[in-house]
Structure 1
């Protein structure tokens, strides 16, 4: 196939795919969407996906958009772009039950300003907005913390009249669906941001032990990233060592679990890699890794469930969180050598960040309970 033929086929396939997605969504009563913004190689993108349950109770998913997002990632520009993507596929705030995003302040503010409020499972109240120039001016002059997402933009905050995503150039205020914050992202923050306050507190023996262990583990992870030493690790262990990723805490948990699993082979491994004794993990440090893994296991298991691709439904959220809380409460009664404060921090963090789910007086918790009862796996258990 020639390059020109391939180009024509790609374009034809794209047009057909968009048409098919629109046809399917037109015949679908209710949809949930997700949105995310990320940067790579000094360019930013926005991705939007749609998810729904078919008549034979199967979950279906489609990608609606993967677009360049030029300029500032401010909440008002996000609102305009999201509504444009939804409108292209015939979706509005009545058909889209909710849009799920991370906890970025720009996403949160976009839905706080332009989203609808769900009073109950059966009623949706549309929020009316007045277009006041003075209020818009105040919004544009808000602090960077209010309008900037966790994914920072490298462009300026210029709001020119030619910006097609500026509220000033939109005749009608955008209307977004109800908003749900990603529970997996929240739980990830429990294990990183909240737990990090304890692990990075330089005045405690826990933080000093954690830092020392991670530095020694980095020696092995760095070695696994070099071709020659990677071959040595493969020969001694029979497998390689995974290095933790920057964005997924699960990868840190899994990588530490790998290192703890090779405890009995660590001495010949260090000798073969010629790593000095001061950089080798000692018995008490392996014991710390064991305690850290035990304290963190319930969160890691819950994250694996919440990040599921095919079999994750909203009905799984409440049972998963209730099970997680019970396990963390049980861990708080353990007598750890190092991790007593970490176990308590995990429990406090989960209670605080998911308070709106654990408080059954809230609409969000009641909807989560109805979703769980609707799932054949749980019913009224």
Structure 2
């Protein structure tokens, strides 16, 4: 019975769309009666939004908002990393030098996934930590400027600051056990991590953590105050609601 009524509604709507002499009021009357077909509410992709924060927003801040000290050290560190990645990709002979000295090839960033940039920075950071002497010899052999102590420390801190965003992207773009009710708890976890980083960092690293925290607030303010998202999180069996 219900399917017959739905088919009748569709015939009515199609009939109105084909008829040239129907008034717009006739179409609106169907909407008022609850018989007009509408699309569900559009929900912006949270993973895409996080990618925008870490790429578009971050790059814009590098050009306009960050201090000169932060711009300079990031530029110098990123240039040296990019030089190693480019040499590894373009010269098989020098790529063999990298593998011989470091025991493996470095991960290199892709064009479409920001997480690949984080993974590449983290791989470079681990190489510096575990095989510093070999890394230094490698740079001399492939003719890349060595990293300064300040740049090495900054790279390590940068990876710590990038990690909460990468963590959230990995979870939210998963194909299993991820629901709309997971979004707010994941965002709250990320904000907790940034709050801890803000307490532990000073100077340019504090500047970075403050930027990411503020960008999260700006990009996800509608989500954090949306009843549907809040209710979805509250009824999700994986999370708990504080009775207070």
**Same fold by TM (over 0.5)?**
yes
Instruction: Tell me the SS of whatever aligns to 2:43.
Output: strand
1:205-252 CA distance string (max 9 Å, x none)? 101110111100011111221322222222222221111112221111
Q: Is residue 255 from structure 1 mapped to residue 116 from structure 2 by the alignment?
A: no
* 1:333 corresponding residue in structure 2: 199
* 1:219 corresponding residue in structure 2: 83
2:58 to 195, 204, 210: 195
* 1:243 corresponding residue in structure 2: 108
- Structure of greater Rg: 2
> What TM-score do you get using the length of structure 1 for normalisation?
0.50
Which shifted more, 288-297 or 231-240?
231-240
- Larger % of strand: which? 1
1:274-299 CA distance string (max 9 Å, x none)? 2336x221221110101111222211
Q: Which stretches in structure 2 are left out of the alignment for 5+ residues?
A: 1-30
Contact 2:97 2:142 in 1 (8 A): no
Instruction: Tell me the SS of whatever aligns to 1:317.
Output: helix
Distance 1:221 1:309, change over 3 A: same
Matches within 5 A, 1:1-381: 176-201=39-64, 204-225=68-89, 226-263=91-128, 264-272=130-138, 274-276=141-143, 279-359=145-225, 365-380=226-241
Q: Residues of 1 paired with 2:156 and 2:73: CA distance?
A: 13
Contact 1:318 1:357 in 2 (8 A): yes
Figure out how many residues of one structure are paired with residues of the other and give that number.
206
Q: Residues of 1 paired with 2:134 and 2:240: CA distance?
A: 53
1:338 deviation in Å?
2.7
Report the RMSD for the aligned CA atoms in angstroms. 2.5
- Larger % of helix: which? 2
Q: Which stretches in structure 1 are left out of the alignment for 5+ residues?
A: 1-125, 128-173, 360-364
Which shifted more, 343-352 or 202-211?
202-211
> What TM-score do you get using the length of structure 2 for normalisation?
0.75
1:116-160 CA distance string (max 9 Å, x none)? xxxxxxxxxx69xxxxxxxxxxxxxxxxxxxxxxxxxxxxxxxxx
1:67-99 CA distance string (max 9 Å, x none)? xxxxxxxxxxxxxxxxxxxxxxxxxxxxxxxxx
1:260-314 CA distance string (max 9 Å, x none)? 101142443453462336x221221110101111222211111111111222211
